[in-house]
Each structure stands twice: as structure tokens, then as C-alpha cells.
């Protein structure tokens, strides 16, 4: 992957909807922590920035078991901000392009490889699977036209890639950071968001098929 890109993994949230009393980065997915699954996707990436907040020390300790070259960025306002704020904080001192990856997301390894080969800006989406999905509306070429809480062709899961200079310091979600720049190139992937306990149970089964 080009050195003009940084990977930002947002792990600051408290994961309250999941109900497991732990940040999502540390949940067990078939014997491995979710953050370990994610780090394995990015084993060949030099510049990885992990945004921490809730249970920051535990997340950092888990990451350091596998990599000692990660940059940690604190989102001290993790109680009142959303993933868009963490994305901005992680990206602002990084490379020209920022690849955003949510701390509650698992992407099929083959699809992630393809995403890392892409040039320029893009938005990834998947077939609807999550209980509390945000949808994307696409055109006939797969480009992302809009986001919606009501309906759409697919589910917005992330990741995405955008020039860091386009990001704003906001309290909103990542998709709110992307909305002013639509339409953007869209890429369909196999991915699962883990927002609720039912999502978590579903992911345990889906990952076995990968």
C-alpha cells in the first residue's frame, strides 16, 4: 500500500448497546480479540493509528501483544462524541489519505486486501445484516449517493478512504464526515458490524464460513 495512506482504527467507544461491559475491541471472536482480527488484516501496513478512550489501557496492552509500532491517539471526549470525531483525531497528523476502520467491524480478509489496493477515495458497504443499520443508496455503477437510517440498497459498514484534509472536528459519525463529499466511489464487501448482542452472535457464525 502506498505510503500516502494511514489506517485509523476507532476503538474509543464504550460499546453500551452490546451489553458485554467491555469495549468492542476486546470482545472474543472465536478465540481471538476483535482488535487482533483487525491487526491481522493490516499486518503489512506501516502507519496504523488506533484511537482509544474507554478502557484505553486494556486496548493498548492487547495491541502491544502483536505490534509495537502502533500510534495511539486519545479521544478524551469519547462519552459525548461518535466515530467521526475519532476518525478526525486519528487522521489529522497522518498521511494524505486516511482509511477509516471501525473498532466494531470485521471484514473478510480477501475483501480487505482488495480495498487496500484501491487508489483514491472510496466507501465500502455490504449486504444488510446488522440490527441497527445505516443504509447507503447507490447508483447503477455502485457509487454511493447518500446515507439513510430508513432505507437503501446496502448497509454502510465501512471502511472508507478519504483525504484527511476533508475531515472536520465534529461530534458526529463517520458517514456524516463523508456526506458533504458524495457521490463517492463505492465498493461492495463482505463485512459485519457488531452493535448489539444479536450482531455478536451472528458474527461468531459468519466468521466460521470465512
Look up the CATH number of the domain holding residue 117: 3.90.550.10
Could you read off the pLDDT of 41-78 as tens digits, one per residue? 999 999 999 999 999 999 999 999 999 999 999 999 99
Which of 128, 193, 183 has its CA nearest to residue 158?
193
Confidence at 16, pLDDT banded by 50, 70, 90 = low
**For the chain, what is the domain count?**
1
Confidence of residue 18 (pLDDT cuts 50, 70, 90): low
What's the pTM value of the predicted model, to 2 decimals?
Answer: 0.92
DSSP character string of 68-114: S-PEEEE-TTTTT--HHHHHHHHHTTS-SEEEEEETTEEE-HHHHHH
| Average pLDDT of the residues in 90-113 | 95
Which residue segment(s) compose the domain that 120 sits in? 5-209
pLDDT reported for residue 132: 78
Q: 137-194, pLDDT tens digit by residue?
A: 999 999 999 999 998 889 999 999 999 999 999 889 999 999 999 999 999 999 988 8
Residue 39 has pLDDT above 80, yes or no: yes
Amino acid at each position: 500500500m502506498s505510503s500516502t495512506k494511514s489506517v485509523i482504527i476507532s476503538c474509543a467507544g464504550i460499546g453500551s448497546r452490546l451489553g458485554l461491559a467491555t469495549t468492542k475491541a476486546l470482545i472474543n471472536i472465536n478465540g481471538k480479540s476483535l482488535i487482533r482480527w483487525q491487526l491481522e488484516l493490516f499486518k503489512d501496513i506501516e502507519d496504523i493509528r488506533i484511537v482509544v478512550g474507554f478502557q484505553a489501557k486494556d486496548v493498548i496492552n492487547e495491541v502491544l501483544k502483536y505490534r509495537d509500532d502502533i500510534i495511539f491517539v486519545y479521544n478524551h471526549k469519547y462519552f459525548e462524541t461518535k466515530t467521526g470525531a475519532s476518525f478526525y483525531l486519528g487522521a489529522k497528523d497522518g498521511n494524505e489519505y486516511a482509511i477509516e476502520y471501525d473498532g466494531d467491524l470485521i471484514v473478510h480478509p480477501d475483501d480487505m486486501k482488495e480495498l487496500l489496493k484501491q487508489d483514491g477515495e472510496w466507501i465500502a458497504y455490504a449486504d444488510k445484516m446488522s440490527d441497527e443499520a445505516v443504509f447507503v443508496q447507490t447508483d447503477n455503477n455502485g457509487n454511493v449517493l447518500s446515507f439513510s437510517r430508513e432505507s437503501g440498497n446496502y448497509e454502510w459498514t465501512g471502511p472508507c478512504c478519504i483525504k484527511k484534509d476533508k475531515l472536520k472536528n465534529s461530534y458526529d459519525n463517520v458517514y456524516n464526515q463523508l456526506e458533504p463529499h458524495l457521490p463517492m466511489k463505492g465498493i461492495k464487501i463482505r463485512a459485519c458490524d457488531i452493535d448489539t448482542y444479536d450482531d455478536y452472535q451472528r458474527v461468531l457464525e459468519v466468521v466460521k464460513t470465512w
